[in-house]
Every structure is written in structure tokens, then in C-alpha cells.
A and B are shown apart, each in its own frame.
Chain A
Amino acid sequence: MNRRQAVTQVAWMLGGVFSAPTLQAMNRWEQIAKTTSAGTPTGKFLSETQHELMGRVAELIIPRTVSPGVESPRVESPGALDAGVPDFMDVMLRDCYTKAAQDIFLAGVSDLERKNFVTLSTDQQTALLKQIEADAQKSTNPTFWLITKELTLLGYFTSEVGVKASFDYQPIPGKFEAIKIKPGQKDFMYGNQA
């Protein structure tokens, strides 16, 4: 068995915990083994303009929310930018994704660059992302949208600001018991994902 098979099967066993891009990412073992000596790559994956563009996309997926009060708008909960998602994306794309997935991702970014995404109105941006999402739905292959969404969610919901704003974080629960849910109950988080 080669490693590609090993990893596919392994991720398969995890019962869908990994998305196809993450899977593919792991297949990059073979390439990396051939081309690099041990050690983590360094340097930036995204250019500055791509970084900015992806920040905008991520913020539309997980926006900062502000309470309506006109007098002194209060941040209700932070968004992808507050959680540093673009930097996180950069590290993940560099270290954890295959060349193939990286290429799919970069093609998606270029497409948005061509459409001058950052200069569009928020409504136009949202409409465009909805279209991209609808197209992605039809694809059986990993898409720019899936990679972006996965990284945005992971980057946000495991960040310090994201966890603290979103969940009832219980690093040491001390017991396990069945309970009834309370109205508006936030999800419990235990910090055991890593």
C-alpha cells in the first residue's frame, strides 16, 4: 500500500471529520518527501492583495456583529478578521494543503481578483459568494469555496476570541452528565479538538 492509499483510508475511517481538501493535502506527503528535507516550510503563501481579499471573504462568512444601538454601537461578537483568520489561512495553506488543492484555491482567488471583489459593494460581494457556493454544491471535487469555508470556520471557532465569544468553554468540566438544554444554550467546548 502506498501512503496515498493509507491516508485516504485513514481519513475515511475518521468518518468525514476531514474534508476532501484536507485529505488531498495529506497526499502531498509523497511530493514533499521527494522535494524537501525535513522541516516546516516558511514564508507567506498569499500575496498582500490576496491576503486582504481573503480577509474580506472570511469576514463575510463569519462577520463581526454589532448590537443595533445607534448611540454607541457595541461589538456583540467578533468576526473572522478579529480572530486573525487570514493569517491562519496562510499558514494552513502553506503547511497542510496539497499542491493540487493550493492550485484550486489560488484559481479561486484569482477569479475574485479579476472580478475586483474588494471594490464591490457588500451586497454584490454577498451575491457573488452565494453564486460561488451554489456552483460548489454541484462539484464533487474540492472547491475554492469548501477550502475557504473550512479554514474560516476552523480559524475562527478555535481562536481565542472565537471560542470565548461563541461557546461555553469548559476546559475542565469535572463531570459527565446528561442534561436538558436551556433556551439559547451555547455549545459547550472542552478544548479537546487538538
Chain B
Amino acid sequence: MNLNLKADKDQTYDAIVVGSGMTGGWAAKELAEKGLKVLVLERGYELKHVEDYKTAFSDPWEFEHRGKIPIVAAEEHYATMYFSAKEGSQFFFTNDKENPYVQKRPFNWIRAYHTGGKSLLWGKHTYRWNEEDFLANAKQGLGVDWPIRYADLVPWYNYVEKFVGISGQAEGLAVLPDSNFLPPMAMTAPELHLKKSVAQKLNRPITIGRVAHLTKPQPVHSAVGRATCQFRNRCTRGCPFGAYFSSLAATLPAARRTNRVTIVHNAIVKEIILDDKAQKAKGVRVIDQNTMEVRDFYAKVLFLNAGTIGSTSILMNSKSARFPTGLGNDSDQLGRNLMDHHLAIGARGDIDGFEDDYFFGARPGSLYIPRFRNWGTDKRSYLRGFGYQGGATRADWSRGAAETGFGADFKKKMTQPGPWKINLSGFGEVLPDPNNRFTLSNDQTDKWSLPQVVFDADFGENERAMRKDIMNDGAEMLEAAGFKNVVAYDNPVAHMGLGIHEMGTARMGKDPKTSILNKFNQVHACKNVFVTDGSAMTSASNVNPSLTYMALTARAASYAVEQLKARNL
């Protein structure tokens, strides 16, 4: 008996953070910096900053398949082929064969089970949501109203942005509020031309992409060992300079330096242990992914940061007499309103007349065209809007396969920069829909005997109507700027999941009858459990979500510590 008590004590912390990715890193840092003893539980293997970026300095010829993925490897990473279709970065992506899931309707679940999670893979596009994003549901009677407004997040955006380090250009646009910026990256000549033409002819602004790269590190960045971006654009292999923001390079080192953080790897959090009497969580039950050993850890407060599907799955798995369908699920909204951004659509073209223009360096970022539809006086047949990411670059030697010719002259030609090409790729907002959901399978399990996730979600009428504009408007802008061979493209089988911005499934809301979380990301019915990743989102905006997750996480952590101190948790 004594032994057990001692073991329990050893495994008791002030706070447990589940997941070490983009949001888990923030939760760990904030809670620890505010004085809490924090345990981070990470289901994947340990990945060490710098030392484990094994391919970061590899030259092209050092890859046996020169970057292409062999068929056998592709078989194991089927969901992630779009993003991992490179030999040098494939090891960052989760093996889908070993971690299966069910698709009632097509869904690609792209994961990164290791320290840092998807913060090692992201494209680093970093945008604030705007005021309208938090009002649209209420105005349009869709989903539920957000329990917070843009103003609630402003101080937290300010707070996290300074630590993250975001390169970008202030534009003063209501549709795309400015962040605290480091110097912007340059545009290429045809991009500047596009910007000018589209401003003049269509009155739409184009700005340089806002990306989480250190273009001019500040003391707060240097303090955790981060340095200037070298413009190699090998980010998908890990950045040994710590130049892009990841939890591995930034928040976890900051958390560790408090000496109050313990990270346990290979720890798959299975469920939350509920103290039925107190209506509070006591801790979590964990399966070691290698040894299958089951252990419990205890804490006063839990932060779920396992990624949208991961965190909601844990809630679903936490069944009790009080919560027969999953912890906090009084509203039956758990797993519902699964959202993503819809993409794989846009326009591309070529341009003449910039033969003398070139660029030096590989820019890890692109242009950004903010939403202009259903904004101001513009009114469309569908709701909400979309933006574009993209850019112009010169074709390299790989253009040769499609061209005729061979021999010495052809070879020489391939060593010189090819024609300019441009691509604008749209990202559209997906509406919340309670029938877009995931559940846990009743009969299919994984190798840890955990139920498999069953996806059942698709784009609706609104998304389909919006897609027409994404194509046409993209082409229109390229044509306005005099681009040739303009092709508007749409991938008919584009579907949820490929956007890798999974959101919703444990939404925030004012009313416990229709939402899972309150305005501080606390489970309405179990106040010491916080969910601060994409699960919490009540609607999806059309801009990339991670900055908003980070701001929500820092805000919730601050609140949790206040509440702990006030003995309310």
C-alpha cells in the first residue's frame, strides 16, 4: 500500500500536458514559467533539435533515390505522400500503416508522432484571424457563436508573436490584421508586377507571406539558441539554425530552462482518469508505445494538446458513469463539426519579359493574397471566403523532360534559369457542420488495442460553390497582370484532411448544451481539463490556424494558473 502511495506521489505533477507539438510546447512553456511543475507526455519517439536533423546538410546526390520515395516506403506513408513525397523528410511523418484509421468518407490524417509534432513540418504561414472570423457564426446563424472576440486574443497574439518571430509586411488591412513583424522577405520581379497590376486593375492587395522565420533574430530568440534564416529552404528536413519556429527549437527549450519540466516519450495517453465525486480529472492513463506497459500520472490540471483528432479521441475514450459517451460530452458535440481548409485549387501561368530578372537564395515562403470575397461590399452566393498562397519562380532543369531535344546544346540550356512560372493556390474556409465528424470504431483497433478513428466528413455545397471563385479569381488576377498560358485548376477529388488544418470536434461556446469548451478552453463540465489545440475551434476562418492555437494556449495557461492559485481548480 505504502509503495503505491509513494509511486503515486512520484508521478504527481502540478500540470500534465499531452503532446509536445505546436500547442503542447506553448502549454509547457507557459505553465512552467508561471511556476508549475509540468509533465509533458508525448506518444512518439524522442527527436532532438539539431542532432536528429539527419538530412539537413545532405547534398542531393547523397539520397539514393534523389529525393523520390520508393514504392515500398510510399505504401507505409499513404496519407502523407503529398507532403512527404521527399526522401529527406519522410522520417518526420507518421507511418500510416502502423497507425491506421478508417475513412467512411475520404480523409487524409497527416501526423507527426515525435517530439515537436507537426511544428517540424508546417509551412510556417502565420496569420492573425480577423474580427469578422469570430463574429461570422453568430451573424449567419451557423454552428454556435464564439465565446470570445478578436479583442480577447489581441494581447495574446502580441505575446506569442514576439516569441515566435514572424517575418512579414504591415499593411493595415482589417481583413488580415498585422502581427509584430520581423523584416519581410523579398518578392521576385514578376511577383511585384502581379502585386502592382492586381492593385491597379482589381483593387486587391497582395502582400508577402507572413512566415515564422527569423529574418532578424531578437534577444528573446537568441536566448534559446535560434539564429537567422539562411534561405536554404530545406526546412522540411529540420532546421539546424532554429530559424523557423518549432516547439523543438523554441518553446520546449524555454520550458526546459525553468527546470520544472519533465518530458516522457513513447507515452500514448489513452484516457483521462476522472474523480467521480469531485467531477474533476485526477490524471491520465498512459500506454508505453514500445513496451505496452500501462502507467498512471496525476496532476491538478490537464492540458490536452495532442492535435485536434488526438485530443478529442482522448476525451471520447474517457468514458465513465458521469460521461458515458466521453468526457465533457453532455452536448453530444464531441467529434462533430470537423473542419479543415479546402485547397488543391487555383491558377497557374507563365510570363514573358522578365528574362533579366533572377533571385539569389531559396525563399521558404510565398506571396499572400488576403480574402476579398464576401468582404466589404462584395457579396457572393456562398458564405465566407478564401485567400491564396503562391509565387513566381524560374523553371529549373526538371523542365527538360517535357521539352523536346537532347544532346550538348540541350544540356547547356538546362544549366540556365528557365522561364518564369507562377502559381496561386487557394485556401478556402470550411463551414462547421455537425454531420462532419469522426467517431471511434467499435470493432477496429490499433496495435495498442485503442479504437481506430473513423472519419466521416466532406465538403458541402458552400465549399463547392466557393471553389468556382477560387479558380476563376486566381486566373483573373494572373490575366490582369498579363500572364500567359493561364490554367485554372481544380482537383475534383480534393477532400478533407489534405489541408492539415483539422479543426473543431470539441468546440468552444457559451452554452454547455451546445459546446464542449468554455471561453477559456476549459471543458464546461470538468473544469481542470483544458483543450487548446484545433479541437477548440468554433469556425475555421480561411487563414492558417496555428498562430491562433498558440494564442489560445498561452491565454488558457495563464488563466489556469490564476485559477489554481485562487484554488478554483
B188 at the binding interface (Cβ < 8 Å): yes
Q: How many residues of A contact B (CB 8 A)?
A: 79
B539 at the binding interface (Cβ < 8 Å): no
Whether A62 touches B411, Cβ cut-off 8 Å, given contacts A32-B75, A192-B234, is yes
A51 at the binding interface (Cβ < 8 Å): no
B498: chain A residues at CB < 8 Å are 13
B106 at the binding interface (Cβ < 8 Å): yes
Selected from B59, B187, B189, B397, the residue in CB contact (under 8 A) with A171 is B59
The answer to whether A175 and B72 have CB atoms under 8 Å apart is no
Whether A177 touches B61, Cβ cut-off 8 Å, given contacts A6-B81, A7-B81, is no
The answer to whether B65 and A92 have CB atoms under 8 Å apart is yes
Interface residues of B in 38-72 (CB under 8 A from A): 55, 57-61, 63-72
B312 at the binding interface (Cβ < 8 Å): no
The answer to whether B78 and A6 have CB atoms under 8 Å apart is yes
Give the one of A13, A62, A160 with max B CB within 10 A.
A13
B355 at the binding interface (Cβ < 8 Å): yes
Q: Mark B486-512, 1 if CB is under 8 A from A, else 0.
A: 000101011100100000000000000
The answer to whether A173 and B362 have CB atoms under 8 Å apart is yes
Compute the total of residue contacts between A and B using a CB distance below 8 Å.
Answer: 223
Q: Mark A16-56, 1 if CB is under 8 A from B, else 0.
A: 01010010011011001100101111000000000000000
Selected from B103, B189, B493, the residue in CB contact (under 8 A) with A178 is B189
In the bound complex, CA of A156 to CA of B81 (Å):
25
Residue on B with the closest CB to A165? Answer: B415
B494: chain A residues at CB < 8 Å are 9, 13
- Tell me the smallest distance from the CB of A38 to a CB of chain B, in Å: 7
The answer to whether B417 and A178 have CB atoms under 8 Å apart is no
A175: chain B residues at CB < 8 Å are 231, 360-361
B398 at the binding interface (Cβ < 8 Å): yes
B74 at the binding interface (Cβ < 8 Å): yes
- Tell me the smallest distance from the CB of B372 to a CB of chain A, in Å: 23
The answer to whether A15 and B63 have CB atoms under 8 Å apart is no
Whether A159 touches B61, Cβ cut-off 8 Å, given contacts A92-B68, A96-B70, A137-B404, is yes
A96: chain B residues at CB < 8 Å are 65, 68-71
Residue on A with the closest CB to B489? Answer: A15
The answer to whether B356 and A181 have CB atoms under 8 Å apart is yes
**Interface-facing stretch out of B85-93, B112-120, B426-434:** B85-93
In the bound complex, CA of A166 to CA of B408 (Å):
12
B355: chain A residues at CB < 8 Å are 181
Q: How many residues of B contact A (CB 8 A)?
A: 77
Main secondary structure of the interface of B (DSSP, over half): loop
A82: chain B residues at CB < 8 Å are none
The answer to whether A95 and B397 have CB atoms under 8 Å apart is no
In the bound complex, CA of A60 to CA of B363 (Å):
35
B160 at the binding interface (Cβ < 8 Å): no
The answer to whether B358 and A26 have CB atoms under 8 Å apart is no
B435: chain A residues at CB < 8 Å are none
- Tell me the smallest distance from the CB of A76 to a CB of chain B, in Å: 9
Selected from A22, A185, A193, the residue in CB contact (under 8 A) with B60 is A193
B3: chain A residues at CB < 8 Å are none
Interface residues of B in 445-469 (CB under 8 A from A): none
The answer to whether A38 and B78 have CB atoms under 8 Å apart is no
A65: chain B residues at CB < 8 Å are 408, 411
The answer to whether B78 and A3 have CB atoms under 8 Å apart is yes
The answer to whether B65 and A91 have CB atoms under 8 Å apart is yes
A17: chain B residues at CB < 8 Å are 398
In the bound complex, CA of A194 to CA of B73 (Å):
15
- Tell me the smallest distance from the CB of B322 to a CB of chain A, in Å: 38
The answer to whether A38 and B59 have CB atoms under 8 Å apart is no
- Tell me the smallest distance from the CB of A78 to a CB of chain B, in Å: 10
In the bound complex, CA of A63 to CA of B81 (Å):
34
The answer to whether B66 and A158 have CB atoms under 8 Å apart is yes
B410: chain A residues at CB < 8 Å are 61
- Tell me the smallest distance from the CB of B427 to a CB of chain A, in Å: 13
A186: chain B residues at CB < 8 Å are 415-416
The answer to whether B186 and A176 have CB atoms under 8 Å apart is yes
Given A61-B410, A176-B186, A181-B357; 14 other pairs, CB 8 A cutoff: A15-B348, A29-B78, A32-B72, A38-B72, A40-B70, A60-B407, A65-B408, A126-B407, A129-B406, A133-B406, A163-B59, A185-B416, A191-B58, A194-B55
Question: What are 14 A-B contacts defined by CB distance under 8 Å?
Answer: A1-B106, A6-B81, A9-B491, A11-B85, A15-B348, A17-B398, A26-B74, A91-B65, A171-B57, A171-B59, A173-B231, A173-B362, A176-B363, A181-B417
**Which 5 pairs show the lowest CB-CB distances between chains A and B?**
A194-B67, A176-B361, A1-B106, A95-B70, A173-B361
Q: B interface vs A, CB < 8 Å?
A: 55, 57-61, 63-76, 78-79, 81-82, 85-88, 103, 106, 108, 185-189, 230-234, 344, 348, 355-363, 394, 396-398, 400-402, 404, 406-408, 410-411, 414-418, 423, 489, 491, 493-495, 498
